[in-house]
Structure 1
């Protein structure tokens, strides 16, 4: 096994793992976002086997620059990690990637490492991190914040109150960021359907870490709202949006 670090220079060769087609619009958007974030310490690493086949990946960043509504001074934060094939899971490969992030955090003098997990759609589940020494430290809505701490005097990471941000968005709104390369496709599908229904849907790009930390949902980088209510906090299909409209427009 070997870990390959993705950089702005080799991204088209190595890909971002979660999106491999370099011609897709989402890949290009992610690449531009990654170029800006790379100098802030964001890392994307891909685990490969002896045949150079991609097994899994991890994306992590100093928590002060995390694109999630978390407050975690002097921690590393894992945005996402994933082992693609079911036959490769439960073999310790994900732990190799988590250990890499932990080593990076210790090398940078950080107090610990943290991650968000969810009881809804999410890439990695809670048990993976518990096996690697993480414990739950905060809970809000469907999300839990887990951490592994070695700093003696460190402050405990916590969630920001994203619910308090929701009332700002009256009418129909989507706020999204290019941190997840699948957001763009979802937003395009939703926007086209909204036009078909005559809905005035305001679309806003989250383009700074400050906006992401003050987003109106736990995921932060995708938010669908109507009249101060959060309808979805993760990218969705056009079919899913049509089903939402059936309920909302009764």
Structure 2
């Protein structure tokens, strides 16, 4: 096994693992976002086998620059981690990737690691982290916040209250960031369906880490809202959006 660090210079050849088609707009958006965030310490590493096949990846960043609604300035925050094949998820590969984040955290003089987990979509569940010494310190909605520290006197990470941010979104809103490269595909589908139903959705992009920390959902980088209510918090298909839209408009779902 080998660990390969993705940099702004080699991203075209190594890809971002979760999106490999370099011609997709989502890849280009992620690449531009990554180049800016790389200067803030954000890293993506890919685990490969001896045949150069990609097995999994991890994306992590000093908590001060995490694109999630959390306060974790003295921790390294894990945005995403994933082992692609189910048959390889019990071989310790996820732990290998977490160890890379831990090494970087210690090198930077940080006090620990933290991660947001969920049983729902687009985040790992907490089992992997608990096996690596993480403890759950908070839970809100479908999310858990877990941390591992080597300094018992350090301040614990905490969630921001993203529910308080939802009320300011009147009408239909889609708020997203380029941290997730699949947002672009979802946005296109949502806008096309909204047009079919005569629904005007205001689309706005999260451009800074401070805006991300004030996002109206736990996942933070994808938020579908209607009149102050969060309808979904991660990439969704056109079919899923059509069902949500009909329900909000009190239309037959069949």
Distance 2:154 2:188 in 1: 42
Aligned partners of 1:120 and 1:84: how far apart in 2? 17
Is 1:180 matched with 2:180?
Answer: yes
1:152-191 counterparts in 2 under 5 A?
152-191=152-191
Is the contact made by 1:47 and 1:97 (CA closer than 8 Å) also made in structure 2?
yes
For the pair 1:247 / 2:240, whether they are aligned, the reply is no
CA–CA distance in structure 1, aligned partners of residues 121 and 9 of structure 2: 32
Tell me if the contact between 2:122 and 2:234 (Cα under 8 Å) persists in the aligned partners.
no
Stretches of 4+ aligned residues off by more than 6 angstroms: none
Q: Distance in 2 between the 1:105 and 1:17 partners?
A: 22
SS of equivalent to 1:168: coil
Q: Secondary structure at the match of 1:67?
A: coil
Secondary structure of 1:199's counterpart equals coil
- Do the aligned residues in 2 keep the contact of 1:110 with 1:151 (CA within 8 Å)? no
Please give the alpha-carbon distance, in whole angstroms, between the structure 1 residues aligned to 2:121 and 2:179: 17
- Alignment partner, residue 21 of structure 2: 21
Unaligned runs of 5+ in 2: none
**Mapped partners of 2:153, 2:63: distance in 1:** 17
1:117 Cα deviation after fit:
0.3
Give the Cα separation in 2 of the matches to 1:73 and 1:28.
29
CA contact (8 A) 1:30 1:180 kept: yes
Q: Secondary structure at the match of 1:3?
A: strand
Distance 2:244 2:24 in 1: 27
Q: Deviation per CA, 1:59-116, whole angstroms, max 9, x where unpaired?
A: 0000010000000121000000000011211100010000110111011110100000
Is contact 1:73–1:155 with CA below 8 Å preserved after alignment?
no
Q: Indicate the residue corresponding to 1:38 in structure 2.
A: 38
C-alpha separation between the residues in 2 aligned to 1:166 and 1:32? 28
Give the Cα separation in 1 of the matches to 2:235 and 2:124.
Answer: 17
Residues 125-204 of structure 1 aligned to structure 2 (within 5 Å): 125-204=125-204
2:113 is paired with a residue of what secondary structure? strand
Q: Residue 71 of structure 1 aligns with which residue?
A: 71
Query: What's the offset of the Cα at 1:122?
Result: 3.1
Q: Is the 8 A contact 1:170 1:227 kept in 2?
A: yes
By how many angstroms is 1:120 displaced?
1.1
TM-score between the two structures when normalised by the length of structure 1:
0.99
Structure 1 position 139, deviation (Å) = 0.7
Contact 1:70 1:158 in 2 (8 A): yes
1:7 aligned partner: 7
Q: Could you list the per-position Cα deviations for residues 179-198 of structure 1 after superposition, in whole angstroms to 9, with x for gaps in the alignment?
A: 00001110111011111111
> Pairwise CA RMSD of aligned residues?
0.7
* Paired residue secondary structure (1:8): coil
Match for residue 108 of structure 1? Answer: 108
SS at match of 1:224: strand
Deviations 1:214-249 (A, max 9, x none): 000000000000000000001100000000012111
Which residue number corresponds to residue 59 of structure 1? 59
Counterparts of 1:129 and 1:135 in 2: how far apart (Å)? 8
Find out whether 1:206 has 2:229 as its counterpart: no
